[in-house]
Amino acid sequence: MKHLANVLKTALSVAAFFCLATNTAFAGNLSGKSANELAKMIRVGWNLGNSLDATGQGANAETSWGNPRTTKQMFDKVKEAGFNAVRIPVSWSTHVSNNGQYQFAIDGQWMARVKEVVNYAYDNGMFVIINIHHDNDQWHMFPSNQYLDQSKKYVTDIWTQVAKEFADYDQHLIFETINEPRVVGDPNEWYFDPSNPTASVSEAIGCINQINQAAVDAIRNAGGNNMDRLVGCPGYVGSIDGVTTNNFRAPNDKAQNRLWISVHAYTPYDFCMNPSIQNHSWDQKFYYDIQWLYNSIRDKVMSKGYPVYIGETSSSNYHNVEDRKQWERCFFGFSKEYGVPCFLWDNNQEFNQKDGAESHGYLNRNSLQWYEPSLIQTIMETLGYDPSSVKDEIANEWNAYAEGKTVRIKSNVEIKNVDVISINGAKIASLVSGRNECSVDVNHNGVYIVVINTENGKSVKKIIIK
């Protein structure tokens, strides 16, 4: 058993080496796609809320808000349910210090943990968004003229390090510059008149434009695949008003067609969150609020050539499951119709006793069961996906198995080519297929790495010939 364990460990090392000859995870080879093309590839996303964005300190920061340590099985469950994208909010500010090279140098242990969690989803072939999340304060990023230079320095330092760390990851990995940037403590912190913003909000909007620009420049200058990277940019407070107000400007980008616009929408607020409302029943009047949102996205942002994604949306649990399903049918129905991918906010709070507005628990991260499976099923049905078929789709995407001294490969899409790699890294066989099935003779016992290339990219499996 010990010998077999060592063989398997070596085989996995060979696979990792062959994929990219780096410590990078490998989800495929997605490249050259425009922002619009990538947006169309995202079915629907899920947020790992209140975990890596928790603002505790040290290695256990991700559990400081009460959620368990993140596992690969969580993302497996999310993908199994039909989500093909995840957003992993990340707070960095409690993990930085001045090391002489960077004023805001990221702790290596925290960077490694973020990377480990990203790989859980990336290795599943899912799209992954990471960002700068709860760092909106006067010591890190704060959108005012007084703190503008420091804010630009902060996002430049963070994104330079993060983009270099993930430089070899393909277009499955997406960056989001900042999260809900706003003037914390201002009377208009959360809401403002987009046609006539106050002086402080107007100043903040101008600063956000520059902060977004600094972040995009840092990403593009970091080398590797970062010129091909899709980057999301929000406006003031992440709202639709923040990106439709006249003062908002998308960054000038060295890359072509690699930007999209981030919007958060718990719409309508009275139904989705407002704790002062007693009755959270669905009313047809809410349809028009949601229609207005999507019309604004289409007419005021997408019409300028930028795709839009709703990075956070959800309806809080007020013990109104059937009403929430009505909301989902409306909200995600428009998502499908308008081509705006949405990411469901999940903070693992089935019901928040202190603040009903924050009851956005969908996946129980301890039991790995959905709190209310019918809510997830309703989303998938509205989008036109059958959740019951996803398991088979994942399991049968492709398979390699031994038959004597022959490796048989079957795929549900056309195989472009196959490589078989020995335990010592030598290429044993290579063939061009053009079919959904093929076979490779290896002639000897041992552990082998099978690498196939399809229209979905490259993928790797190990196989033992006995």
Contacts of 36 (CB under 8 A, 6+ apart): 257, 307
Cα separation, 446 vs 300, whole angstroms: 60
Q: Where are the alpha helices (DSSP H) in 42-179?
A: 72-80, 108-122, 148-165
> In the chain, what are the domain boundaries?
31-393, 397-465
Q: Are strands 259-264 and 231-234 parallel, antiparallel or unpaired?
A: parallel
Q: In the predicted model, what is the mean pLDDT of the chain?
A: 90
Q: Chain centroid to CA 210: how far?
A: 24
pLDDT (tens, 9 = 90+) of the chain, 466 residues, equals 444 344 334 444 444 434 333 344 444 579 999 999 999 999 999 999 999 999 999 989 999 999 999 999 999 999 999 999 999 999 999 999 999 999 999 999 999 999 999 999 999 999 999 999 999 999 999 999 999 999 999 999 999 999 999 999 999 999 999 999 999 999 999 999 999 999 999 999 999 999 999 999 999 999 999 999 999 999 999 999 999 999 999 999 999 999 999 999 999 999 999 999 999 999 999 999 999 999 999 999 999 999 999 999 999 999 999 999 999 999 999 999 999 999 999 999 999 988 999 999 999 999 999 999 999 999 999 999 976 655 544 444 677 777 778 888 877 678 888 888 886 778 878 888 778 788 888 888 888 888 888 776 677 777 777 6
Give the residue numbers marked as catalytic: 180, 312
Q: Taking each helix axis from N to C terminus, what angle separates 72-80 and 387-395, rounded to the nearest 10 degrees?
A: 120
Classified as helix, coil or strand, 25 is: coil
Q: How far lies 239's CA from each of 193, 222, 233, 380, in Å?
A: 12, 29, 11, 25
pTM of the shown model: 0.82
E strands, 17-118, in order: 45-47, 85-88, 96-97, 105-106
Beta strands in 247-359 (DSSP E): 259-264, 308-313, 342-344
CATH number of 397-465: 2.60.40.1220
Q: How far apart are CA 5 and CA 8, in angstroms?
A: 5
Under CATH, to which class is 31-393 assigned?
A: alpha beta
Greatest CA separation found in the chain? 75
- Using DSSP bridges, classify how beta strands 363-364 and 342-344 pair: parallel, antiparallel or unpaired: unpaired
Residues 300 and 244: their CA atoms lie apart, in Å, by 6
